[in-house]
Amino acid sequence: MDSSFQWPDNKRAAISLSFDDARLSQCDKGFALLASFGVKATFYVSFGALDKRLDQWKLAIEQGHEIGNHTVTHPCTANFPWGRSNALEEYTLERMEKELTGANERIQSLLGVTPATFAYPCGQKFVGRGEQTRSYIPLVAKHFKVGRGFRDEVPNDPTYCDPAQALGIDVDNRSFDDLLPLINQTIERGGWLILAGHEIGDAGPQTTLRDTLARLCEFCAEEKSGLWLDTVDRVGSHVIASRNI
């Protein structure tokens, strides 16, 4: 690793917790758990669900959590049957840019904050198909500090990663013991691990398990772990600032 890069406060590596779609269980079960450890996370919100818990989301911002952009209408490939009416294959870059700026405007008017980071719905980064396919990563780079992917495989190398396509790893339905090798790899490499989940609870589909979250928070809180656990915005800002020195 580039020897000039350093994590703050003699930390050896960083982890960010992120959760998508403003699932109600994030408010109903997640906030209390995170608060009990004093941990700040990043929430890539979807409208509709967000509106159902607006007061709780405002409180979450006061408590230091980050609200990120996840588009207005969550377009993904139409290979998901539910994606057929809003398919990335039918999008243009112009239409996608409206999804990005439109979501920022709605979040600003509902919650009074402007997102600094973004999560690609379904982790997909294209519009169109075949020879007309375009990447929308440049739009994300234009409007945000960080764009988080999904179902990636390795932690980000802070000396090399492109913040506009930062790797995000699925944390749903994984035990802490299952995650531990990945966490150790992150520490060994001095990397930045971004975990991405959906529901927060004790069982069920697309659910980050409370036991896993609690053990992860405890692990990071131990001085000897050398881990900095913070939002995508705060860790990403450190990574970006380190390159501009």
Least Å distance between CB 71 and Zn ion?
9
Contact characters 94-123, Zn ion, x per CB under 5 A: ---------------------------x--
Alpha-carbon dihedral sign for residues 117, 121, 125, 128: negative
Q: Which residues 118-147 are close enough to bind Zn ion by CB under 5 A?
A: 121
Residue 101 has φ and ψ, to the nearest 5°, of -70, -35
Closer residue to Zn ion, CB minimum distance, 121 or 168: 121
Least Å distance between CB 68 and Zn ion?
11
Closer residue to Zn ion, CB minimum distance, 35 or 78: 78
Q: How far, in Å, CA of 184 to CA of 227, rounded?
A: 10
Least Å distance between CB 70 and Zn ion?
6
Closer residue to Zn ion, CB minimum distance, 148 or 234: 148
Query: What SS3 state is found at 17?
Result: strand
Closer residue to Zn ion, CB minimum distance, 121 or 155: 121
182: closest CA among 152, 222, 214, 223? Answer: 152
Q: Cβ distance 220 to 54 under 8 Å? A: no
Pick the binder of Zn ion from 11, 14, 21, 164 (CB under 5 A).
21
| H or E element in which residue 200 lies | strand 199-201
Binding site for Zn ion (CB under 5 A): 20-21, 121
